[in-house]
Amino acid sequence: MTAVANWLARYGIAMPSQMDVLEAAIAGGLVLLALVIGVTSGRVLGPRLANWWKDHVGRPGDGLRPRLCLIVRHGSAALLLSMLLSAYPWSPLAGAPIGLALGAAAALTTHQLMRGVGIPRWASWGVEAIVFIALFSRAVGGLKPITQTLDAVGVTVGSRRLSLLAAITTLLTIVVLVALVRLVIRVLDHVIDRAHALDPTQRILAQKIASIAAVVLAFFFGIDLLGIDLTAFAVFSGAFGLAIGFGMQKTIGNLIAGIILLMDRSIKPGDVIVVGESFGWVNKIGVRAVSVVTRDGKEHLIPNEDLMTREVENWSYSDRNVRVRIPVSVAYSCDLKLAQSLMLKAATESPRVLKSPKPNVWLTAYGNDGVEHEILAWISDPESGVGNVRSDVLNRLWFMFRDAGIDIPFAQQDVYIRSWPDKARG
């Protein structure tokens, strides 16, 4: 024992007393108790909180819900350990196990929260390391020596001090604010989705405005928290604003165009539209572009400005009913009334064709090869496609024509020979 005391004294460390050892043992037992309570709360309260999150806040692909059990486990342990650390002036020897457990629990809680809202791993690990070091240092003697060391590493530029401490503080503030903004936006989106008084278009508009407001508030809160004086940039504000205006005019234009589209409801999710060569149903109206999904499963991202400036054919703007034109030609020698009645019957029997308005058959022209008709049929679900309706009607009509003996004409040419050369006869 004397040898150990001499070795510690050589490095300026005092030999712990029996009271310090007893206090450390008590602290260790309380740490184990807090960890056990954390594990129990994670098993009991975690699934309940996950189910509540799924019903009231969660979305498909939500990264937080699977992590809620771990968040409750580590978070409750960290809360109990923090209360334990603040309840009594522990000696450094007793504060070490408390700080170690508190730092680990808080770091694990931070990891689950950060990854749950989609923060990159490198940023999450950086925040976890800062949280662990800060809490452990506070438990064994305070943060002042660490902060002084970090602040000493830096340079002075003008009236401001650029140090390693300021860089770490800025990074930590940015990451935490980004995580909070993502969480707040997710909760607001779900709350707005459950507002049945708003139609789908109004919900999307409200979600976009709420997201923009959350980002703007977080930006100004971060500026105030970091103590950045915006008046220092007054000299460069004109040129910087002009550069930003030119550089982001397309982005801002698309943002404003998207908001206008949502406000006037000319295009909304679920509409079937045609823009140039793109045909499909509107899946999502984003900040920059509108997502249009085609029948082939391809997703076209069309800038919002294009929908404002180009001609857009909206098949479901005021009425979801769409008329499908199906051209059919029959031979001149057939029974025309029977052929037309079979055309009408084939359209009526197709499952997607509406009974009201009723389908109709028009004779459109006397063609070179046959009598040309158009079957006019109405459908109410254009997002399911138009070509499959034509295919179904024409398939039914093929067998009806075959059974009735009605011929479908095809292009053919007759060659008449007026004279034949004598050499060819021989």
> Would you say residue 340 lies in a domain?
yes
Greater pLDDT, 156 or 52: 52
Q: Is the pLDDT of residue 54 over 70?
A: yes
Domain end position, chosen among 103, 118, 142: 142
> Would you say residue 166 lies in a domain?
no
Which of 97-111, 126-140, 371-385 is the least confident region?
A: 126-140
pLDDT at 281: 80
> What gap in Å lies between CA 293 and CA 168, rounded to an integer?
44
> Would you say residue 195 lies in a domain?
no
For residue 322, how far is the Cα from the chain centroid?
31
Which of 15-24, 133-142, 207-216, 371-380 is the least confident region?
A: 15-24
| DSSP structure class, residue 230 | G
> What gap in Å lies between CA 338 and CA 112, rounded to an integer?
72
pLDDT at 6: 52
The predicted model gives 39-68 an average pLDDT of 76
pLDDT at 1: 46
Greater pLDDT, 411 or 51: 51
Domain end position, chosen among 118, 142, 166: 142
Number of Cβ atoms within 10 Å of the Cβ of 291 = 16
> Would you say residue 304 lies in a domain?
no
User: Strands across the sheet with 313-314, in order?
Assistant: 299-303, 289-293, 278-285, 272-275, 313-314
Structure tokens at 157: 């530029």
The predicted model gives 13-29 an average pLDDT of 73
Q: What percent of the chain has pLDDT over 90?
A: 8
Residue 397 belongs to domain with CATH number: 3.30.70.100
pLDDT at 393: 92
191-250: per-residue pLDDT in tens? 777 777 666 766 777 777 888 888 888 888 887 777 766 665 555 555 555 565 665 667
> Would you say residue 176 lies in a domain?
no
Q: Is the pLDDT of residue 176 over 70?
A: yes
279-289: per-residue pLDDT in tens? 788 887 776 78
> Would you say residue 6 lies in a domain?
yes
Greater pLDDT, 193 or 337: 337
Contacts of 264 (CB under 8 A, 6+ apart): none
pLDDT at 239: 56
The distance between the two most distant Cα atoms of the chain, rounded to a whole number of Å, is 138
CB under 8 A, 24+ apart: contacts of 178-186: 178/119, 178/218, 179/113, 179/114, 179/117, 179/119, 180/218, 181/214, 181/215, 181/218, 182/117, 182/118, 182/119, 183/64, 183/117, 184/214, 185/210, 185/211, 185/214, 186/57, 186/59, 186/62, 186/64, 186/117
Q: How many separate domains does the chain show? A: 2
For residue 204, how far is the Cα from the chain centroid?
13
* Nearest-5° Cα angle at 11, 7 to 16: 65
> Would you say residue 117 lies in a domain?
yes
Pick from 322, 325, 251, 327: which is nearest to 289 by CA?
251
Domain end position, chosen among 142, 172, 189: 142
The predicted model gives 40-54 an average pLDDT of 83
> What gap in Å lies between CA 262 and CA 286, rounded to an integer?
10
> Would you say residue 244 lies in a domain?
no
Contacts of 110 (CB under 8 A, 6+ apart): 124, 127, 128, 131
Domain encompassing residue 399: 322-404
Q: Is the pLDDT of residue 323 over 80?
A: yes
363-402: per-residue pLDDT in tens? 999 988 889 999 999 888 777 778 888 899 999 999 999 8
pLDDT band at 159 (very low <50, low <70, confident <90, very high): low
The predicted model gives 98-120 an average pLDDT of 84
70-79: per-residue pLDDT in tens? 888 888 888 8
User: Strands across the sheet with 360-366, in order?
Assistant: 322-330, 371-379, 360-366
The predicted model gives 345-368 an average pLDDT of 89
